[in-house]
Chains A and B, each alone.
Chain A
Amino acid sequence: MSLLTTASVLASPAAPGSPGPGLADFGHDPVWISIIKGLVIFVFLLLGVLFGVWLERKLISRMQHRYGPNRAGKFGLLQTVADGLKMGLKEDLMPRKVDKVIFFLAPVIISVPAILAYSVIPMGPVVSMFGHKTPLQLTDMPVAVLFILAMSSIGVYGIVLAGWASKSPYAILGGLRSSAQVVSYEIAMGLSFVAVFLYAGTLSTSEIVAKQADGGTATLFGLDIPLPSWYAILLIPSFLIYVMTMFGEVNRVPFDLPEGEGELVAGYHTEYSSSLKFAMFQLAEYVNVFVVSGVAVTLFLGGWRAPWPISLWDGANVGWLPLLWFFAKIVLIFCFFVWVRASLPRVRYDQLMAFGWKVLIPLNLAWILLVATFRALRVEQSTPVFILMAIVVIGALAVFFRFDTVQQRRREARAEQIEEEFEQLREEPTAGGFPVPPLDLPHYHGANRKEVPSA
């Protein structure tokens, strides 16, 4: 219902100052324009992977005080191209035990949906392409965000099937772990979108971007205060939760358990030597990073629209220029991924799952309740809504304090236990254990022997 009304409001093609294309602007492209856009998405993503890998290696090596790739091409720019060529020309080993068909299909199943998800990411307003007015977005649908979630769920099949078909214990463990992780974080991710839908009133990506054009004003004590237009600021808890789930969803540091090489060799793609199929897994991983970055930009960071000081200029959001804002935002988020990778250690598996299920999901549900009541308050200001809001707030606070006290008690108990252990170790240092090894190991001279200085 609301979809219909918003669509008819936005039906006129974008003039300067209008919020941009909506659902009604799609579905008019001739086939050849669709094919051009599809190919451009492919080229953009493949080039993005090539130079994304280079950027990541370069950036992370700078953060670790080394040079990174600098041999192939200027600044090592062609390093990934060279690696890709090598992988394309290498002998491809298919171990004798594997399930051949599925082993072959898994890399395709994982990489194609990753790319498909990009078809609904808006990259710009309506432009004139070869004399044809068309939005810079392949397609849009009333359930576009759900489509993105669906595509990332299909990617999980690729992970599970790759692990299962490999017939190797490490691969199957990696596959199971990875899928459990991805589905857990996908729930939290889906829930963090709900607040955005509550505010935008639609699941269509182009219209969510249009809704972020203008935050509107709030009247407080007779003053009109302009509200921030990006949902990242308006719904900051949702955004923070999304940022965390983003890392879990694409198996990146600090949640890169599936590739915990100390435990699982390389996880689900252990048996894919370094062939083209392995390259496809890498490609899918990076494309998934671009997809979650694109979703972050679209749903929370104003999409292709210019950031605030630039958006004051009328020409900032028309024509082809918004492509620049879109790419700049994507690159910044990608750099954030690299920064996190350089800074954080990998978490343990139990920590990862506990964080996802016991923190992110309950927090998300409580936040949705709060936002929903707040929205209801703005729609109809009646006493029952106020009462409901009070109940929600009090309930959420009660649950929070209950958790807090339980956590605090546990933390104290653990600290006490550790203190006790230290006490015991201090009494008899030869007993050994953490953190000191026993002092009377055979290669030691015993605790009583005095060290003779050499000088």
Chain B
Amino acid sequence: MRDYQGVDGYFGSYAVVAVLLAIGAAIFAGALLINRLLRPDRPTEAKLTTYECGVDPVGDGWAQSQVRYYVFTYLYVVFAVDAVFLFPWATVFAAPGYGMTTLVEMFVFLAFIALGIVYAWRKRVLTWT
């Protein structure tokens, strides 16, 4: 039996995902291609305007929106990194040789992360007006 951590086995599982990706891309590309061949195509001026809400569009397409969304993206990056550190920690945590030190280390790390969310909270990023 091959060891799954060998190069073949380990990257083999990703190769299978790549195969599925190829199948998926092929199926959707095929569907869109068939759709292109079968569907009628009679564009008019009115059909090609942006729909928006049914009324004739006014001005340029894009609307300005709150910068707040970017703050959420930053917060997401912080917490996603946090989660990525937490996952391997959670798996080795109960193994012999870890234990108390690992636990305290992670608590300190989580305290720093929690400080981030408390800061955002105090700065009223999480409040809507």
Contacts and interface: CB of A to CB of B under 8 A. Distances in A.
Contact of B57 (A141, A168, A184, A382): A168
A35 B29 CA distance: 18
A167 B50 contact: yes
Interface in B44-76: 47-53, 57, 60-63, 65, 69, 72-73, 75-76
A413 interface: no
A176 interface: yes
B95 A180 contact: no
Given A39-B23, A172-B62, A273-B51, A91 B39 contact: yes
B4 A24 contact: yes
Interface in A133-154: 138-141, 143, 145-147, 149, 153
Interface in A105-164: 107-108, 111-112, 115-116, 119, 138-141, 143, 145-147, 149, 153
A28 B27 CA distance: 26
Task: Please indicate which of the listed interface residues B16, B39, B41, B120 has the most CB atoms of chain A within 10 Å of its own CB.
Answer: B16
B34 A141 contact: no
A241 B48 CA distance: 44
B95 A1 contact: yes
Contacts of A116: 17, 20-21, 24
Contacts of A172: 61-63, 65
Nearest to B29: A108
Contacts of B32: 108, 276-277
Contacts of B2: 27-28
Contacts of B14: 141
B4 to A, nearest CB: 5
B72 A184 contact: yes
A433 to B, nearest CB: 21
The main secondary structure of chain A at its interface with chain B is: helix
Given A35-B19, A173-B65, A194-B90, A28 B1 contact: yes
Interface string A199-216: 001110000000000000
A203 B24 CA distance: 25
A149 to B, nearest CB: 8
B126 A96 contact: no
A5 to B, nearest CB: 8
A115 B19 CA distance: 12
Nearest to A375: B94
Nearest to B60: A167
Given A27-B4, A198-B93, A384 B50 contact: no
A3 B21 CA distance: 27
A169 B76 contact: no
Interface in A318-369: 349-350, 353-354, 357-358, 361-362, 365, 368-369
Given A116-B17, A201-B94, A203-B87, A167 B62 contact: yes
A97 interface: yes
Given A1-B92, A4-B5, A91-B39, A108 B80 contact: no
Interface string B112-129: 011001001100001110
Contact of A166 (B12, B50, B117): B50
Contacts of A4: 5
Interface string A70-99: 000000000000000000111111111110
19 contacts: A2-B92, A27-B8, A29-B16, A34-B19, A38-B20, A88-B35, A92-B35, A111-B24, A119-B16, A119-B20, A139-B13, A146-B84, A167-B50, A201-B92, A273-B51, A353-B72, A353-B126, A365-B110, A365-B113
Interface of A: 1-4, 7, 11, 23-24, 26-29, 31, 34-35, 38-39, 41-42, 88-98, 107-108, 111-112, 115-116, 119, 138-141, 143, 145-147, 149, 153, 166-170, 172-173, 176-177, 179-180, 183-184, 186-187, 190-191, 193-194, 197-198, 201-203, 265, 270-271, 273, 275-277, 280, 349-350, 353-354, 357-358, 361-362, 365, 368-369, 372-373, 375-376, 379-380, 382, 384-385, 388
Given A201-B90, A276-B35, 18 more contacts: A7-B4, A38-B20, A38-B23, A89-B38, A92-B41, A116-B17, A116-B21, A168-B51, A169-B63, A173-B63, A180-B72, A190-B79, A201-B93, A375-B93, A375-B94, A376-B103, A380-B100, A382-B100
